[in-house]
């Protein structure tokens, strides 16, 4: 599986001089900053700093850009934990349990959990990439719209588990999100609900909507309090407690490994990636947990599942880029631009002829993960200070940043107005005990779902079920999903009944 000669050459490329590593720490810091500010995207950071790489050699450029990618993936989780503001769609599930932990005064532990899970997840993702780049590339080529439909369906099933008090309210919130995703031009070019507004042609911008419904509505709810963490004694930033969170991560090895594997595999699917991976991983952690009732109220497993999956998906997303030359998302598209600037074309010939460079990129990323652990620990002490800011000052400031973030995404008035509209919707939903996350998931996955369904219908000539039987990967995924969603809870209930009967 590994070309040992190329591997030794990769080591010498990376470690004979310090040059490839010069830009790694600045890259990680840039990623952390861009990832943690709502509205500044990782892909935006990579695009802004792309021209800087023109003076670098290829390996140095790759390490710099992937360092931004790695730092950004973790940075999004920091604000999700501290302020319930996911920096990007890949951190949505981190907020589910990270933020309740922060409100309980366990922000140090939550940040430690997130950091350790991110580091382990990214490590697993890149190790898998190193060992399995060829088979993974072959797998990616076999994935078509039908397989994507199954994966997106899997992500959507999380909607049903988000509200324990009322299933109907959770489903209503999720289906409303799906409905909202249908605004704009359809996959086949039909105009729907645009009311003549050109800003709606591409549908509702998801990130501004997410900022509004999560952050702005939560900030409005917080106004009655004086600080994010009410108990003054809990408001400290303690390295010891962050490290306690780090060690706590390893008490849940199955959640950590499962999250990392889910992230790596789903991350490899172009166009799906980390947005779905963190949701699927969170959903699976909740379903299989012995203490599933604690999820959403500050369960450490929830943070671990979400962060390990979104970080490992980075390694997965590199599969398609390196092995096939296909960018799976916006961030890898910027990497592809750097490839082309250095006259390198990703794909089978790149892997075959320049294996040492491919290995260098992967090994360099493994090194970055170790550096992320150190930089992350140092930065957390600064980022965590937000819990000491009085809410009277924090709420209007972050609200203003939310609106700016909306503009940063769209570049038009549509962004801030989407933030405002969804802030109102989120306020109404939270007030009446509807899970706002379900609406975001519906909005995020609805578009993806429609595109893949239409393609499946076209390919299958209107016979999707017959087509499913001809697609072994889709069929296996579908059966596995049914087993996990229906079989496992059924088995659990039967076992509990048997235990109860044996007890009486």
Partner 1 sequence: MTTRFPATHAALLGIVLAISGFILWSAVSASTSLDNLVVVAPVAAVLGVLLLVVIAGALRGSASEDVKSGAGSDLLLLAGFSAFCFALTHIGFDVATFVFVWAGVVMSGGRGLWQPPLFAALFTVLLVKGFGSLFPYPMLTLVL
Binding to partner 1 in span 171-200, by CB under 8 A: 171-172, 175-176, 178-183, 186-188, 190-193
Distances (CA, A) of 413 to 129, 215, 407, 408, 419: 41, 19, 7, 10, 10
From 70-78, 93-101, 278-286, 443-451, span contacting partner 1 (CB under 8 A): 443-451
Tokens of 204: 């509702």
Residue 492, number of CB atoms within 10 A of its CB: 14
What's the min distance (Å) between Cβ of 413 and partner 1?
A: 5
Number of H helices, E strands in the chain: 23, 2
**The Cα angle at residue 160 between residues 254 and 284, in degrees rounded to 5:** 10
From 103-111, 116-124, 162-170, 333-341, span contacting partner 1 (CB under 8 A): 162-170
Site for partner 1 in 78-117 (CB under 8 A): none
Distance (Å, whole) CA 57 – CA 186? 42
Q: Decide: is 224 part of the binding site for partner 1 (CB under 8 A).
A: yes
What's the min distance (Å) between Cβ of 207 and partner 1?
A: 14
Closer residue to partner 1 (CB): 17 or 166: 166
Q: At what angle do helices 107-141 and 239-249 cross, to 10 degrees?
A: 40
Q: Decide: is 428 part of the binding site for partner 1 (CB under 8 A).
A: yes
For residues 126, 69, 112, 304, the Cα torsion angle rounded to the nearest 10 degrees is -60
From 268-276, 315-323, 327-335, 405-413, span contacting partner 1 (CB under 8 A): 405-413
Instruction: Please identify which residue in 434, 436, 471, 478 interacts with partner 1, judged by CB under 8 A.
Output: 434
Tokens of 409: 């995404």
- CA nearest to 24, candidates 76, 61, 77: 61
What's the min distance (Å) between Cβ of 265 and partner 1?
A: 25
Q: Decide: is 423 part of the binding site for partner 1 (CB under 8 A).
A: yes
| Count of residues in contact with partner 1, rule CB under 8 A | 72
Q: Decide: is 413 part of the binding site for partner 1 (CB under 8 A).
A: yes
Q: Decide: is 391 part of the binding site for partner 1 (CB under 8 A).
A: yes
What's the min distance (Å) between Cβ of 435 and partner 1?
A: 13
Exposed e or buried b per residue across 26-56, where buried means at least 16 C-beta atoms within 10 angstroms of its C-beta: ebbbbbbbbbbbbbbbbbbbbbebbeebeeb
Q: Decide: is 462 part of the binding site for partner 1 (CB under 8 A).
A: yes
Q: Decide: is 454 part of the binding site for partner 1 (CB under 8 A).
A: yes
Distance (Å, whole) CA 111 – CA 244? 10
Q: Decide: is 397 part of the binding site for partner 1 (CB under 8 A).
A: yes
For residues 325, 328, 331, 332, the Cα torsion angle rounded to the nearest 10 degrees is -10
Q: Which residue has the tokens 């990680």?
A: 28
What's the min distance (Å) between Cβ of 68 and partner 1?
A: 13
What's the min distance (Å) between Cβ of 399 and partner 1?
A: 6
What's the min distance (Å) between Cβ of 304 and partner 1?
A: 31
What's the min distance (Å) between Cβ of 247 and partner 1?
A: 36
Site for partner 1 in 34-73 (CB under 8 A): 34, 37, 40, 44, 47-48
Instruction: Please identify which residue in 431, 495, 497, 498 interacts with partner 1, judged by CB under 8 A.
Output: 431
Q: At what angle do helices 92-103 and 300-319 cross, to 10 degrees?
A: 150
Distance (Å, whole) CA 75 – CA 296? 21
Q: Decide: is 400 part of the binding site for partner 1 (CB under 8 A).
A: yes
Closer residue to partner 1 (CB): 56 or 149: 149
Q: Decide: is 271 part of the binding site for partner 1 (CB under 8 A).
A: no
What's the min distance (Å) between Cβ of 419 and partner 1?
A: 6
């Amino acid at each position: 599986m590994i070309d040992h000669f190329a591997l030794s050459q990769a080591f010498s490329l990376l470690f004979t001089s310090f040059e490839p590593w010069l830009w790694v720490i600045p890259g990680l810091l840039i990623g952390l900053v861009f990832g943690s500010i709502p509205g500044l995207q990782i892909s935006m950071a990579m695009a802004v700093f792309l021209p800087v790489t023109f003076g670098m050699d290829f390996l140095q450029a790759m390490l710099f850009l992937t360092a931004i990618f790695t730092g950004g993936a973790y940075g999004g989780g920091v604000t999700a934990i501290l302020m319930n503001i996911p920096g990007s769609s890949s951190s949505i599930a981190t907020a589910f349990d990270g933020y309740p932990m922060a409100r309980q005064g366990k922000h140090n532990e939550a940040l430690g959990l997130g950091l350790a899970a991110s580091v382990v997840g990214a490590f697993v993702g890149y190790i898998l990439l190193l060992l399995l780049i060829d088979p993974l590339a072959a797998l990616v080529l076999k994935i078509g719209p039908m397989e994507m439909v199954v994966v997106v369906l899997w992500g959507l099933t999380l909607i049903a588990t988000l509200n324990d008090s009322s299933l109907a309210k959770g489903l209503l919130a999720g289906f409303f999100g799906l409905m909202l995703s249908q605004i704009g031009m359809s996959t086949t070019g039909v105009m729907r609900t645009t009311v003549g507004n050109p800003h709606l042609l591409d549908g509702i911008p998801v990130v501004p909507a997410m900022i509004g419904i999560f952050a702005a509505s939560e900030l409005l709810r917080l106004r009655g309090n004086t600080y994010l963490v009410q108990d003054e004694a809990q408001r400290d930033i303690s390295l010891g407690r962050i490290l306690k969170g780090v060690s706590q991560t390893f008490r849940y090895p199955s959640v950590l490994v499962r999250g990392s594997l889910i992230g790596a595999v789903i991350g490899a699917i172009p166009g799906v990636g980390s947005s779905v991976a963190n949701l699927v991983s969170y959903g699976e952690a909740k379903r299989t947990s012995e203490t599933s009732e604690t999820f959403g109220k500050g369960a450490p497993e929830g943070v671990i599942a979400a962060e390990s999956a979104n970080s490992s998906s980075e390694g997965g997303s590199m599969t398609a880029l390196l092995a096939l030359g296909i960018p799976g998302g916006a961030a890898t598209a910027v990497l592809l631009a750097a490839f082309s600037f250095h006259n390198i074309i990703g794909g089978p010939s790149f892997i075959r002829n320049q294996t040492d460079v491919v290995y260098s990129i992967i090994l360099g990323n493994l090194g970055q993960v170790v550096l992320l652990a150190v930089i992350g620990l140092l930065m957390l002490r600064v980022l965590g200070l937000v819990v000491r800011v009085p809410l009277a000052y924090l709420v209007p400031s972050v609200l203003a940043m939310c609106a700016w973030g909306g503009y940063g995404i769209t570049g038009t008035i549509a962004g801030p107005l989407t933030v405002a509209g969804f802030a109102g919707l989120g306020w109404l939903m939270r007030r009446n005990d509807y899970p706002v996350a379900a609406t975001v998931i519906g909005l995020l996955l609805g578009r993806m779902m429609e595109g893949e369904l239409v393609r499946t219908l076209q390919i299958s000539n209107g016979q999707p079920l017959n087509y499913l039987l001809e697609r072994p990967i889709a069929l296996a995924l579908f059966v596995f999903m049914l087993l996990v969603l229906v079989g496992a809870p059924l088995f659990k209930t039967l076992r509990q009944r048997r235990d109860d009967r044996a007890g009486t």
